[in-house]
Amino acid sequence: MTKLQLITSQLLDVINRLADEATEIDILTSFVMKSGVKKLVPALQRAAARGAEIRIGTGDYLHITQPDALQMLVEEVPEAEIRLYKSGGRSFHPKAYLFRLGEKGHVIIGSSNMSASALTGGVEWNVAAENDHLFDEALGAFEAVFYHEQTVPVNQETVRDYRSRYTKFHEKNVLRAEWTEAEEVDAMFSEPAGQESIVAEQGETYTVLSPRPAQKAALAALEQTMEEEYERALVVMATGLGKTYLAAFFARHFKRVLFVAHRIEILEQAKKSFLHVHPDRTAGILNGTTKEKEADMIFASVFTIGSKHHLHTFERDAFDLVVIDEFHHAASQSYQKVRDYFTPSFFLGITATPDRMDNKDVYGMCDGNVAYRIHFMEAIQKQWLAPFHYYGVYDDTDYSALTWLGTRYDEEELLAVQLRTDMAEKIINAWRTYKQTRTIAFCSSIRQAEFLSRYFNENGFRTIALHSGTKTISRPAAISMLDKGELDVIFTVDLFNEGTDIPSVDTILFVRPTESLTVFTQQIGRGLRTAPGKTHCVLIDLIGNYRNADVKMRVFDTEPDRKTRDVIPAVPASCIIDFELKAVELLQEMNRKRNPRKEQLHMAYEELKKELGRRPSYLELHLHGAFDSKMVKEFHQSYPGFLYAAGELNQAERAVFEQFGHWFAEVEKTGMNKSYKMVVLRYMLSKGLEHWLDSVTPAEAAPYFHRYLTSKEYRKRIDFSDRQGKKLEQYNEKAVADLIASMPMSKWSGSSKGLITFENNVFHIHIEAAGNPLVYEWTKEICEFRLHGYFERKEMKQS
């Protein structure tokens, strides 16, 4: 039975009452004002103090949301997860307040945004309902928007970014209480609905239920991993090789299975794949709207199962196998909850290969065990994926004249150069020249997709713009039409980045500047699946002087470690890479004018900083940044040196770096055939700020040294694998002390040019930095980075 209440004033009283008992609070409003935040903060703070989970979503539509309101939420309710929907000017009008009280769900939906007048004395109508089914429906809709790809976390860094856009917008547009219909329609003609339609995509089809070659190789590696008594592993497989079916085949070893992902489309497709392999088992979906918890195989939204309410309804050992699919940074905390809670017999992480610098966080996730990895270029060489014919088409647009906002171009300025007839004519001519039969075209925005679809249709072709706001046709129906040859092109933005299989697609058209190498690689993968009659995939790419135009070429390179870099990468013999002459000249000119790798490092840093809301540590940048971490040492000698060059240090920090930069460079560059030097340094750092520079002896360091290297199987296997090391598996203080004296202490003192000495059996670092917290912390960051990188490299060579 539903309890309904119409609330026409003082909504705040109802919210306060519910918030004081709620275990979960989810709020989604089109905008937030400082006046409204002030009203809600006390109740939110009380709820947070009780341990309630709080999520607050809002949008930047018409830039009504006040930066000060976001700032206040970040500062006053730090426990809350806050996200901002980037509407791109499209209408964004949700007003919903959801509360979970024990087993009861309460929903308030109506007209009240987060402003003082809307919450208290304004003329507002809201309906409050106590109804579990409605609550689940609303929660599913909330999560679809809250974790949408167009949302960003709200933190100090992203608030600063939004404030600059807010100021710029209001310099051009005077904020009014009401907009005319014409103005609002014009502003709305931009982006798709924030909530994607919940539809199942076409799954992979196998006429014979047996693993494909790549899956066989990965399964063999996983079998070996289990024989070695690992309990966790990561498999990295390029898009198109069937990582979901791999997980399904592997699940034959286990009785009860949990599969976790971040999108309903992936869950639905995974459910079909697993049932295809296991027709005798039951399967259920667990997300905001469906609660099928009793099945043999559960396919769960990370956002649903990651909530305390659902997570704790399962025993920690409820599943024999937990599979976690592709994660993205926005959801990392949610995934962490799941990883930390469950204790399955085996934990499997599966992911496509985004780019060669991603997926490095394998030690926290899978105990350092990468069971199997294969990049799409290697898969092409093995003939497991279709080869490609890449055509780089010259684009004379001057992107350097557009405003760069740190990770992307200003949207309106970009649209101004994209929505031109001459640009559309250039695109259609290139497509006519190189296309095959079925094309997916990736655009920057919905407006560009709609514009190009209309232009192609006016020129006699059959195309649609397909996005999450499309109402005239469902995604499965559009895919079916393209597959049958009833459509020539589907223009889209990011819909087909992952979780969608259309093997017959044989042409990919890129009409957008590349901002993310990960996304670029995922989109390439949409065309590389094999299919009957398909000989290769055509990639048509407009090359202009936009950022990353030259950097992105490295995703094709089969010789990434070449000393001499060419703008044209080395590709497999079965592939073709062909540029128009002007495009080659442009890339060469870009290489001469700037160092794209150096720029990539700075972009990766800025992107991660906004995501975290703070300066990332060296290890965090290595694990989560889309860049080659060797660039830090190559260009800046050390991580503090990079921060110094990037202008990220305050005056006091700059002074510390200028005094001790030589020490940081020494820790960064000293050779490590074994991990031993950094293990000794780690022991010294473990003594704390005041004593880490105290002299140490080999015997003193021996217990810590041995314990560190034998506490993880992969460390012992890598660094104690030789004859001498095997003798040290069982602790012997003299033997370990002798090893420390002859290896790290003697060798480091000999190569450090006087910074370090080892004399009379005493190891000493000669810097006057005792009690200096910055020197201590930066040394610690470099030490942890180097240890992680050492074992990671060694593990990659063995796997």
Residues 70 and 7 in one domain: yes
Output DSSP code: residue 197: P
In which residue are the tokens 């469902």 written? 474
The mean predicted confidence, pLDDT, of the chain is: 85
Q: Please say which residue of 573, 593, 613 terminates a domain.
A: 593
* Residue 379 located in a structural domain: no
Residue 565: predicted pLDDT = 56
* Residue 636 located in a structural domain: no
pLDDT digits (tens, 9 = 90+) for 51-90: 999 999 999 988 899 999 999 999 999 999 999 998 866 7
* Residue 608 located in a structural domain: no
* Residue 182 located in a structural domain: yes
Q: What is the mean pLDDT of residues 602-624?
A: 85
Q: Which residues sit opposite 261 in a β-bridge?
A: 301
Tokens linked to 16: 């306060």
CATH of the domain at 357: 3.40.50.300
Label residue 29 by pLDDT band (50, 70, 90).
very high
Q: What's the CA gap between 98 and 22, in Å, rounded?
A: 9
Q: What is the mean pLDDT of residues 418-437?
A: 95
Q: Please say which residue of 350, 374, 398 terminates a domain.
A: 374
Share of the chain above pLDDT 70, in %: 87
Number of structural domains in the chain: 4
* Residue 646 located in a structural domain: no
Tokens linked to 537: 């995939």
CATH of the domain at 54: 3.30.870.10
Residue of higher predicted confidence among 357 and 623: 623
The three-class DSSP label of residue 36 is helix
Comparing 371-380, 401-410, 413-422, the range with the smallest average pLDDT is 401-410
Residue of higher predicted confidence among 744 and 326: 744
Residues 309 and 436 in one domain: no
Q: Print the domain residue range for 474.
A: 388-593
182: pLDDT strictly greater than 50: no
Residues 674 and 531 in one domain: no
650: pLDDT strictly greater than 80: yes
Label residue 643 by pLDDT band (50, 70, 90).
very high
The Cα-based distances of 555 to 278, 296, 517, 536 in angstroms read 36, 39, 8, 18
Residues 85 and 151 in one domain: yes
Residue of higher predicted confidence among 480 and 554: 480
Comparing 32-36, 188-192, 446-450, 626-630, the range with the smallest average pLDDT is 188-192
pLDDT digits (tens, 9 = 90+) for 203-229: 334 344 688 889 999 999 998 888 877
Residues 707 and 769 in one domain: yes
Residue 405: predicted pLDDT = 73
Q: What's the CA gap between 579 and 570, in Å, rounded?
A: 13
Q: Please say which residue of 125, 154, 188 terminates a domain.
A: 188
Residue 613: predicted pLDDT = 85
pLDDT digits (tens, 9 = 90+) for 495-530: 665 556 688 999 999 998 876 777 788 889 889 999
* Residue 712 located in a structural domain: yes
Q: What is the mean pLDDT of residues 608-618?
A: 87
pLDDT digits (tens, 9 = 90+) for 79-122: 999 999 988 667 789 999 999 998 899 999 999 999 998 999 88
Residue 290: predicted pLDDT = 82
Share of the chain above pLDDT 90, in %: 51
Residues 523 and 564 in one domain: yes
Residues 468 and 366 in one domain: no
* Residue 363 located in a structural domain: yes
The model carries a pTM of 0.71
Q: What's the CA gap between 457 and 455, in Å, rounded?
A: 5
Residues 143 and 91 in one domain: yes
- Work out whether the CA dihedral 74, 79, 80, 85 comes out positive or negative: positive
Q: What's the CA gap between 746 and 740, in Å, rounded?
A: 8
Q: Which residues sit opposite 152 in a β-bridge?
A: 84
Label residue 470 by pLDDT band (50, 70, 90).
confident
Residues 571 and 423 in one domain: yes
Residues 452 and 507 in one domain: yes
Residues 727 and 797 in one domain: yes
Residues 392 and 330 in one domain: no
- The 10 Å Cβ neighbour count of residue 177 is 4
Tokens linked to 215: 């899956």
pLDDT digits (tens, 9 = 90+) for 284-302: 999 877 888 889 999 999 8
* Residue 442 located in a structural domain: yes
Q: What is the mean pLDDT of residues 672-676?
A: 89
564: pLDDT strictly greater than 50: no
